[in-house]
Structure 1
Amino acid sequence: MMNLSAYQSLLEPIDAFLHCPTPSLWIDEAKKAENLSILLIDHMICELKAAQTAAWLVRKYAIDKKSSEILLNWLQPYENLIYYKGGDFHQLLSRHHDISKQLVLRPDCPYAEELVDKMVTLIKEELHHFYQVFDIMSQRNIKYQSITASRYAKGLMQQVRTYEPATLVDKLICGAYIEARSCERFAKLVPYVDEKLANFYISLLRSEARHYQDYLKLAQKISHTGIDDRVKLIGQVEAELISREDCEFRFHSGVPSR
C-alpha cells in the first residue's frame, strides 16, 4: 500500500483549516463492510456535483452563451449515467480534453481567465475521479442506485450572501471547505479499507488539497475586502454540520444517529 505518512505535510494545513476533525463515530460507520456500496455511490455523485458546481461558476461569471453550451455538453454523458442510467461509460474520458481552447471569455469579467483555468482543470479531475469510482464499483459488482443527498452542501450554501461579488466569494469558500473535508475523509478512511481502495483514496489527496487552495485563492482575489471573517464563519457552520447527528449515512454526513 502507498505510504500515507508521506502526505502528512499536505494534510496538516487541511487539518488546521477545518474547524473539527471527522468524528470517530462517522469513521466507525464508514468502515462497516455493509456501508461500502453507499460510500462509493455517494462519492461518485459528489465528484459529479463538484464538476457541475465548477461549471456553473464558469458559465455564470466568465464565458459567453455558446461557451456555456459547450460546458453543458461536456457534462451531459456523466449526468446521463447518474440521472437516466444511460450512455456509454467507456467513452466518457475521450471527450473535450482541449475544452479550454473552445471557451470565449466575457470581456466584462476581470477574473474570467483565472476562473476558467482553475475550474476547467478542476472539472477534468473531478470527472476523471467519477470515472475511477464508477470503474471500482463495476469491478466490485456494485450497482448504481439513486440516493438522497446529505444536508451538508445545502447547509453550507445557506450561508451564501445574495449580492455580488459576495455571492461568488462565499460559494468559492464553501467549495474550499467541501474539498478540504473530502481530502481529510479520504485520509481517515485509508486504514480501514482494502489495499486497492486505500491506494485510490491516497491518490486523490493531492488534487483535493490543491482544489481547496485554488478556491480560497480565487475567493481572496475576487473579494473587495479580506475574507478571513467569512472563512471563519463558514468554517464554523461546516464543523457544526459535520458534528451534528444525521439519520442517513453519506460521504459528507455528520455523526450517525442512534
Structure 2
Amino acid sequence: MTVISSDEMSSLLTPINAFLQCETPHAWLEEAQKEENLRIILTDHLICELKAAQSAMYLLRRYVADDATSKTLLGWLKPYEDFTYRHEGDWQSLNTKHLSKNVFNTEGLDPFKKDMLNKMVLLIKEELHHFYQVLEIMHELGFEYKSVTSSRYANGLLRHVRTYEPEKLVDKLICGAYIEARSCERFAKLAPYVSEALGKFYVSLLRSEARHFEDYLNLATQISSVDITERVTHFANVEKTLILSDDKELRFHSGVPVFQEAP
C-alpha cells in the first residue's frame, strides 16, 4: 500500500466517518478483497464514477444551463456513455481536456448557481478522469470490460427524494453527499487488502474525492430555506440500512453479501 501518514489519513477520514452512521461491514470487505471478485468490484467502481459524473451533469442541466449549453454538456458524456452502455468506441481515446465551465453563460447567475457550476464542473472532470484510470487498471490486469447490473444502493437513496422544489434539489444534494462519502470510506477500507498499485490508486482517490460530500452538503445548505439537519438524519438512516442489510449481489456500494458471487 502507498505510504500515507496516520495524521493525513485521520484528517481525510474523520469528517467522512462522522457523517456516515456505520462502517462498511467486515463481511463485505472479506468478499470485495478476494481476487476472484476483483473484476466485479473494478467494473462496478468504473460505472459508479460515470454515474457520479452523470448526477453532477443532471444538476447543471436542470438548474444552471440554458438549452444550448445543455446540449454541449450531453456531448461531454456521450463518448463515456457509448463505451459503458453501448460498448462503442475506444476507451483509450477518452479524455477530459475539453471539459470547461467556459461553455456556460454566467451573466446573471445568482451566487448559488455559480457555486454549483464551479463545484460540479470540477467534480465531473475528476470523476471522468478516475473512470479512465480504472479502465487503465483493468486493461493492465487483463480484464475485458463487460457490463454488470447496478446495485440497489443509489436507487435506494433516491427513492426518498421529495418531488417538489426546492426540496427535491436539497434531497438530491444530500444523496450525492452520502454516495461520495461512502465511496471514500470504501477506498480506505479496501486499500490495505489489495495490490500495492491498486492500494495507491484507492488512496489517491480518497485524497481527490474526500471533499466531494462536503461540496454537496454546502450546496444543500445554501439552497434550503430551513435547516437541513432533519433531512440529513433521514438519509443517514436510509443509507445505514442499505449498507447493513443483506444483499444478493456484490457491488462497490452493496450491503452484506448473502452469498459469494461468481466472477
Q: Same fold (TM over 0.5)?
A: yes
Q: 1:153-200: CA deviations, max 9, x gaps?
A: 000001101111100010000000000000000000011100000000
Q: Determine if contact 2:221/2:227 at 8 Å carries over to the other structure.
A: yes
Q: Counterpart in 2 of 1:249?
A: 250
Alignment-mate amino acid for residue 21 of structure 2: H
Q: 1:45-87: CA deviations, max 9, x gaps?
A: 0000000000001000011011101110010001111011121
- Distance in 2, matches of 1:105 and 1:28, equals 48
Q: Counterpart in 2 of 1:3?
A: 3
The DSSP-based 3-state class of the residue aligned with 1:225 is: coil
TM-score (norm 2): 0.94
The DSSP-based 3-state class of the residue aligned with 2:251 is: coil
Which ranges of structure 2 fall in alignment gaps of 5 or more residues? none
Q: Determine if contact 1:63/1:105 at 8 Å carries over to the other structure.
A: no
1:95 deviation in Å? 4.4
The DSSP-based 3-state class of the residue aligned with 2:49 is: helix
- Distance in 2, matches of 1:219 and 1:207, equals 21
- Distance in 2, matches of 1:3 and 1:231, equals 34
Q: 1:185-222: CA deviations, max 9, x gaps?
A: 00000111000000000001122211111000000001
Q: 1:100-134: CA deviations, max 9, x gaps?
A: 00112484765221111100000000000000000
Aligned residues with identical type, % of pairs: 56
Deviates further, 51-60 or 202-211: 202-211
Q: Counterpart in 2 of 1:207?
A: 208
Give structure 1 regions of 4+ aligned residues with deviation exceeding 4 angstroms: 105-110
- Distance in 1, matches of 2:117 and 2:138, equals 31
1:146 deviation in Å? 1.3
Q: Determine if contact 1:241/1:254 at 8 Å carries over to the other structure.
A: yes
Q: Counterpart in 2 of 1:32?
A: 34
TM-score (norm 1): 0.96
Q: Counterpart in 2 of 1:216?
A: 217
Q: Counterpart in 1 of 2:132?
A: 131
1:141-152 matches, within 5 Å, as 141-152=142-153
Q: Counterpart in 1 of 2:24?
A: 22
CA RMSD of aligned residues (A): 1.3
- Distance in 2, matches of 1:176 and 1:107, equals 28
1:8 deviation in Å? 1.4
- Distance in 1, matches of 2:191 and 2:241, equals 24
Which residue of 70, 74, 82 maps to 1:68? 70
Q: Counterpart in 2 of 1:114?
A: 115
Alignment-mate amino acid for residue 216 of structure 2: Y
Q: Counterpart in 1 of 2:184?
A: 183
Which ranges of structure 1 fall in alignment gaps of 5 or more residues? none
Instruction: State the aligned residue count.
Output: 257
Q: Determine if contact 2:64/2:113 at 8 Å carries over to the other structure.
A: yes
Q: Determine if contact 2:96/2:129 at 8 Å carries over to the other structure.
A: no
The DSSP-based 3-state class of the residue aligned with 1:160 is: coil
Q: Determine if contact 1:170/1:230 at 8 Å carries over to the other structure.
A: yes
- Is it true that 1:59 corresponds to 2:43 in the alignment? no
Q: Determine if contact 1:62/1:106 at 8 Å carries over to the other structure.
A: no
- Distance in 2, matches of 1:139 and 1:108, equals 44
